[in-house]
């Protein structure tokens, strides 16, 4: 694989960090619910930015590196949709005010980048020192693919053991106080529900990093490509959240597309491990050169086709059943409450209705 100049890596990461900082500043200085037009423009901006970066890589390091980046970016892009689905459930389950969701999502994205950076460093060291790790990565991805396709839903991300422990050990108010992490209630300092939301999102980030990092190492062994592909995939996640909104819940075949990609990369990793085999009980510790290796170009085609087929099939399903509601999907994750008339609604909607009936909701006493 061609070497990527160190200077290019440093300059690229510095530029990406500046863009992320600017995005964070905008999110915090203007807490609001982005319009469809605004969200679309930002998503297009980040997609174009990723493609420009791929083009620069083509001229700096060659076609192989550029192709690996695009394949890795699309893989992480598709996996982040699943991440986005759980974010939607968490926001609904904890009834996070819509004007504050941008800030929460931004923190979630930063946490995801930190956790993935850690896992990438660990993964790179494991790959460098233990070639057999590809067997484990491949088997794990195949298992994850089976779970993704046939194992049901993610479960209630708002009622995990970690969340229950945090609620028992920490003094948390029932109401939000703007974007504050701590507030004062009857003279007592307490945490707001924002802290619990961040814990839930942080735990989700760790779980998804466990899937995504082995998957992209099945495409490239370059830590730089792995991390930049993750950054570009996550950078537009906040805007995509507001652009797609409830539509994500209704893309019911998307999980099968993601599962197929994970299974494909899992098989690719095992084939690569066999090709580079050093385990003494397999072929006497010699490489199994008769085993074919799957190239990056084919991987890119499989990723694109899988996501395209899953998305189109989901959209056709929505067109056939335009009255399909997201409530079934949200209910499957435990993020529902019953309204006064007994109707199941998402928790954020239930909270809004309760506020409307009872007048202005109670708010914590501010500092």
**Host H or E run for residue 64:** helix 63-93
| pLDDT at residue 22, rounded to an integer | 84
Dist. CA 174–CA 165, nearest whole Å: 16
Name the token pair of 284: 């006497």
Name the token pair of 160: 């995990």
| pLDDT at residue 246, rounded to an integer | 58
- What is the pLDDT averaged over residues 47-69? 92
Burial category of 69 from C-beta neighbours within 10 Å (exposed 0-12, middle 13-18, buried 19 and up): buried
| pLDDT at residue 66, rounded to an integer | 92
Do 89 and 158 meet the contact criterion of CB atoms below 8 Å apart?
Answer: yes
Dist. CA 82–CA 364, nearest whole Å: 34
CA-based torsion, 88, 91, 19, 111: positive or negative: negative
Report residue 338's pLDDT band, with 50, 70 and 90 as the boundaries.
very low
Dist. CA 112–CA 24, nearest whole Å: 14
What are the pLDDT digits (tens) for 144-192?
888 878 875 555 565 667 677 777 777 888 788 777 778 888 778 888 8
Do 31 and 101 meet the contact criterion of CB atoms below 8 Å apart?
Answer: no
- What is the pLDDT averaged over residues 121-128? 83
**Host H or E run for residue 191:** strand 188-191
| pLDDT at residue 54, rounded to an integer | 93
Dist. CA 78–CA 75, nearest whole Å: 5
| pLDDT at residue 356, rounded to an integer | 41
**How many residues does this entry show for the chain?**
367
Q: Of the ranges 48-52, 86-90, 162-166, 231-235, which is most confident? A: 48-52
Q: Where are the beta strands (DSSP E) in 47-205?
A: 182-185, 188-191
| pLDDT at residue 69, rounded to an integer | 93
Percent of the chain predicted with pLDDT > 70: 82
User: HSE of 113 in the Cβ direction (CA atoms, 13 Å)?
Assistant: 19
Dist. CA 171–CA 28, nearest whole Å: 26
Residue of 36, 83, 59, 18 lying closest to 230 (CA atoms):
83
| pLDDT at residue 203, rounded to an integer | 81
Residue 221 has pLDDT above 50, yes or no: yes
Do 276 and 131 meet the contact criterion of CB atoms below 8 Å apart?
Answer: yes
| pLDDT at residue 55, rounded to an integer | 94
| pLDDT at residue 357, rounded to an integer | 41
Mean pLDDT (the chain) is: 77
Name the token pair of 312: 């189109």
Do 233 and 213 meet the contact criterion of CB atoms below 8 Å apart?
Answer: no
Torsions phi, psi for 280 (to 5 deg): -65, -25
For residue 182, list its beta bridge partners.
191
Report residue 363's pLDDT band, with 50, 70 and 90 as the boundaries.
very low
Report residue 58's pLDDT band, with 50, 70 and 90 as the boundaries.
very high
Dist. CA 71–CA 220, nearest whole Å: 9
With H, G, I as helix, E, B as strand and everything else as coil, classify residue 84.
Answer: helix
- What is the pLDDT averaged over residues 60-86? 85
Do 194 and 37 meet the contact criterion of CB atoms below 8 Å apart?
Answer: no
CB atoms within 10 A of CB 352: 16
| pLDDT at residue 154, rounded to an integer | 53
Residue 10 has pLDDT above 80, yes or no: yes
Percent of the chain predicted with pLDDT > 90: 9
Comparison of pLDDT for 193 and 260, the residue scoring more: 260
Do 79 and 258 meet the contact criterion of CB atoms below 8 Å apart?
Answer: yes
Residue of 243, 225, 212 lying closest to 76 (CA atoms):
212
Report residue 51's pLDDT band, with 50, 70 and 90 as the boundaries.
very high
| pLDDT at residue 322, rounded to an integer | 61
| pLDDT at residue 245, rounded to an integer | 65
Do 348 and 95 meet the contact criterion of CB atoms below 8 Å apart?
Answer: yes
Report residue 11's pLDDT band, with 50, 70 and 90 as the boundaries.
very high
Residue of 34, 260, 221, 58 lying closest to 126 (CA atoms):
221
**Worst-scoring range by mean pLDDT, 69-78, 119-128, 340-349?**
340-349
């Amino acid at each position: 694989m061609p070497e990527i100049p160190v200077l290019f890596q440093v300059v690229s990461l510095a530029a990406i960090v500046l863009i992320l900082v600017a995005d964070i500043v905008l999110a915090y200085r203007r807490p609001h619910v982005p319009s469809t037009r605004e969200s679309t423009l930002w998503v297009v901006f980040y997609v174009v930015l990723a493609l420009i970066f791929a083009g620069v890589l083509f001229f700096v390091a060659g076609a192989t590196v550029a192709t690996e980046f695009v394949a890795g970016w699309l893989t992480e892009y598709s996996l982040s949709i699943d991440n986005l689905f759980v974010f939607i459930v968490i926001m609904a389950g904890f009834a996070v005010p819509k004007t504050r969701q941008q800030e929460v999502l931004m923190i979630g994205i930063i946490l995801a980048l930190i956790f993935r950076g850690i896992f990438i460093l660990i993964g790179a060291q494991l790959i460098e020192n233990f070639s057999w790790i590809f067997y484990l990565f491949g088997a794990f991805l195949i298992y994850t693919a089976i779970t993704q396709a046939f194992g049901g839903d993610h479960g209630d991300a708002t009622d995990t053991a970690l969340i229950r422990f945090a609620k028992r050990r920490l003094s948390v108010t029932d109401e939000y106080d703007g974007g504050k992490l701590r507030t004062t209630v009857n003279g007592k300092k307490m945490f707001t529900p924002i802290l619990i939301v961040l814990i839930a999102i942080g735990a989700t980030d760790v779980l998804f990093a466990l899937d995504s990092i082995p998957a992209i190492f099945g495409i490239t062994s370059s830590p730089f490509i792995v991390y930049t592909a993750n950054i570009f995939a996550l950078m537009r996640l906040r805007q995509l959240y507001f652009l797609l909104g409830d539509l994500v819940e209704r893309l019911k075949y998307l999980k099968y597309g993601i599962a197929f990609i994970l299974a494909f990369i899992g098989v690719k990793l095992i084939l690569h491990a066999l090709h580079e085999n050093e385990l003494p009980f397999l072929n006497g510790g010699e490489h199994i050169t008769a085993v074919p290796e799957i190239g990056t170009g084919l991987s890119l085609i499989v990723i694109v086709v899988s996501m395209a087929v899953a998305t189109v099939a989901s959209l056709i399903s929505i067109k056939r059943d335009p009255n399909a509601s997201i409530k079934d999907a949200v209910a499957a994750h435990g993020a529902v409450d019953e309204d006064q008339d007994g109707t199941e609604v998402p928790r954020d909607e239930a909270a809004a209705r309760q506020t409307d009936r009872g007048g202005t909701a109670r708010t914590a006493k501010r500092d």
